[in-house]
Amino acid sequence: MEEKDLKQENESNVAESLSEELKTDQPEAILPKDELEEAKIELAEQKDKFIRLYAEFDNFKRRNAKERIELMQTAGRDVIQSLLEVLDDCERADKQMAQSDDVEQIKKGIELIFSKFRNTLASRGLKEMKSIGTEFNADLHEAITEIDASAEMKGKVVDEVEKGYTLNDKIIRFSKVVVGK
């Protein structure tokens, strides 16, 4: 039993001596007061910059979201304003049809209105896709049906059920077509 007691005593002596060495051999990690004050001031400045930058970014996000909402609400405003002129022409044509029996004059007036309507949409970037007589292309056309056709029209668009349109070179509606087989 004495050996166990000696071992425990030696271990406790070693532990005490190590702890005393650690206490005395610790390097001086404490900064002088001037350097400590400078570090505190610099830290405070960096915190202030961070807070200001964070607040500025938060304001940017809010402003950007608000602008996006406003843009979505008024996106069609210019187009609608330009179409109001066509609507006015339609209303004048409606009044004229009620008063006049001259079919040719009414027909010419309506053709002018349609022409103005097409020109207004074209000025906003709308283009009609040409399909009849072209090769069927699944990226541009939606096949409604196939019909028997001459040898030269096989695989080509024979008829167009609904026109396709692009807006600024992006397809907004596919052409619905009849394809020759």
Query: What angle, 0 to 180 degrees and rounded to 10, lies between the N-to-C axes of helices 103-123 and 77-99?
Result: 180
Helix extents (H) in 100-178? 103-123
* Domains within the chain, CATH numbers bracketed: 57-124 (no CATH), 126-181 (2.30.22.10)
pLDDT at 19 over 60: no
- State if pTM tops 0.85: no
pLDDT, one tens digit per residue, over 57-78 is 999 999 999 999 888 877 788 8
Q: How many CA atoms lie within 13 A of 32 on its CB side?
A: 2
Q: Give tens-digit pLDDT for 27-45.
A: 445 667 888 999 999 999 9
